[in-house]
Structure 1
């Protein structure tokens, strides 16, 4: 008997699978359920943390392992287990914090212990935007917000983030680029037009590496992925097919197999329905 090809379909969330309200539209939800019915394997690979994505994904069950924090964390829903790849060490964290020093913003350290308790450690607040973000995080179930001075050493440090004036964020990214074992992604903040965000991880952590590992574990034949930003290039590099929505950055479109519809027009879902005859 000839084996039927079994691809792994992988979605970025923001600006890709989600609409401009950062939601799964009704049309997209129907499409995902049609994929379930057709037996198509799919999952997500996002820069968001598990907690940040939880409320967004509450209306749909993703049954396969899901990749969070740009490949640092993988959540297996059937085993209810987190696995960690390339967390930051304390020396690496110290170097990153030094590079992030500014009078206008304070960094947040995201971490998790072996019992799946999530933590966010922070310094002294320096702008109202970061205060509002921290207030939102503190309301999430399973999350604990503590001063940086209370951070213990036996934790998985997944990433370091900060939000502040764009010039300060760009300067921080420039400094991070010169440090060993660290990589930074940054972009304009949704909360304020003159602010940007930055997210720092270990250089060996990537969506592409995590997807390759998952593909092997699931014994699937190929990878089809969808993404719009710089942190998606690693999965484009390992994919057999990669697609960028019309709103993607120019360099992402250049790397893609093809450019599809805009994320706020259900571009991914419409493409999937046509490709898989859903």
Structure 2
């Protein structure tokens, strides 16, 4: 029998709309893992929120976090396979954000701790809420000026991601400005905030869910990968998988490239599929 690695996105795929796992999904996943099935998640989230989401799942594999820029072990709290940005590229990108006065968070990862800085101007309301919801997390430390002054990390070589949430017209303008800079992969996309707000992030060029999944496939000795997703940023991972599965609530572009379309995330469809797959 083929050894299968199951990899699921979280938001809109494995989770319920309230950003939690239903008890049914938890029970089905734990049963599948107990039977020896290989399961993990691949998410843009960091352990600050992933830890609480998957705390009741008896994970036997580490989680793919930061959109593939790192692997995180829930049991030990340790990171591995970290994809840092080139220091010169990170410095050039930070300077461009500052010159263009584009507010954005600057994440570094050092000694298994995420440090978050902010450049480009004062926090907007969404950024402030983002920070306040994570202020007491043991996984993150914020270094943010109350007056809006730029604070840069002491060691820019530890940069793992830039992350911003701004009005779409500003996000698209900065994306056009920096997407050609060497040594980074820049994204601009819509997520949970609707069409008025766009998310912007930047990583090392090889920091992708798809690459992280393929490395985990090799490390676990799996013969095939079954990947689950719902959004545009899941497409490369689905294309890299042996079997691409879209949930019913996925975007049309995701369903179009999927091998299989299952029920919606609200029906525990991912966990049901894994439980029944033989």
Is the TM value for this pair above 0.5? yes
Hey, what does 1:269 align to over in structure 2?
271
The structural deviation recorded for 1:20 is: 0.6
- 1:1-278 matches, within 5 Å, as 4-77=1-74, 80-100=77-97, 106-113=103-110, 115-123=111-119, 124-147=121-144, 148-153=150-155, 156-190=158-192, 194-276=196-278
The structural deviation recorded for 1:126 is: 4.1
SS of 1:212's partner is helix
Q: Which has the larger displacement, 99-108 or 32-41?
A: 99-108
Separation in 1, partners of 2:25, 2:101: 39
The structural deviation recorded for 1:90 is: 2.8
Separation in 2, partners of 1:185, 1:59: 32
| Per-residue CA distance 1:129-175 (angstroms, 9 max, x = gap) | 21121122222113211145351116521110011111111222223
The structural deviation recorded for 1:76 is: 3.2
SS of 1:248's partner is coil
Measured at CA, do residues 216 and 247 of structure 1 come closer, stay the same or move farther in structure 2, by a change above 3 Å?
A: same
How big is the alpha-carbon RMSD for the aligned residues of Structure 1 and Structure 2?
2.3
The structural deviation recorded for 1:245 is: 0.9
Q: Which runs of 5+ in 2 are unaligned?
A: 145-149
Q: Which has the larger displacement, 121-130 or 95-104?
A: 95-104
Separation in 1, partners of 2:188, 2:263: 24
SS of 2:133's partner is helix
Q: State whether residues 230 and 247 of structure 2, in contact with CA within 8 Å, keep that contact through their aligned partners in structure 1.
A: yes
SS of 1:139's partner is coil
Hey, what does 2:147 align to over in structure 1?
none
Q: State whether residues 105 and 126 of structure 1, in contact with CA within 8 Å, keep that contact through their aligned partners in structure 2.
A: no
SS of 1:110's partner is strand
Separation in 2, partners of 1:102, 1:22: 36
The structural deviation recorded for 1:51 is: 1.7
SS of 1:46's partner is coil
| Count of matched residue pairs | 272
Separation in 2, partners of 1:191, 1:104: 22
Q: Which has the larger displacement, 260-269 or 160-169?
A: 260-269
